[in-house]
Chain A
Amino acid sequence: IAGITQAPTSQILAAGRRMTLRCTQDMRHNAMYWYRQDLGLGLRLIHYSNTAGTTGKGEVPDGYSVSRANTDDFPLTLASAVPSQTSVYFCASSLDSNTEAFFGQGTRLTVV
């Protein structure tokens, strides 16, 4: 069982380019999340989805969009990347929104 798979592992992206970070889980979890982790700031929630077909904004949603067409996949899209979006991005899932979350290995994104 893979759990949560994120792709790519790392990416260097030119500013202004569009980028989609992929996230897939095989645990049939209802809820999925995207966080960004920056040095000294811990984890900040970007977007979440409590069930397939629904999404919501977290603490820092600007510049990002998500979709949840099915239970397993929760891609995160940067429409036009900016250097301040340089970060490590973690996807996570949980059975529902108040149970423990399981995390992917992260995507290290550098916007230059």
Chain B
Amino acid sequence: EVHLVESGGGLVQPGGSLRLSCAASGFTFSSYEMNWVRLAPGKGLEWISYINSDGRSTYYADSVKGRVTVSRDDAKNSMYLQMNDLRGDDTALYYCAREPPGYSSPLDCWGQGTLVTVSS
């Protein structure tokens, strides 16, 4: 069975850092593109980051560009999101989501999310 499990969230002060992890199982992780999507309180889903299957191509939403870095370790079947200079509007539930190979595929499998709260 396909599983994605996020971890690493927590309470952090403004300006602080967190490293989120996404552990994958039940599929050939190295074949899939991966994404991070967040859901802030009272708002809709917001895509924030993409990494391709070989890790050489990454993209970010303008709202986080310059403050976050996505990476993956296929040997560990894991993806990471290093988040720096966190702000209050980064408070959200952060999901990792799988994107099957192929042009413009949907996000077909999601984890349960890890909560990031930015507050003093």
Say whether A and B bind each other. Answer: no
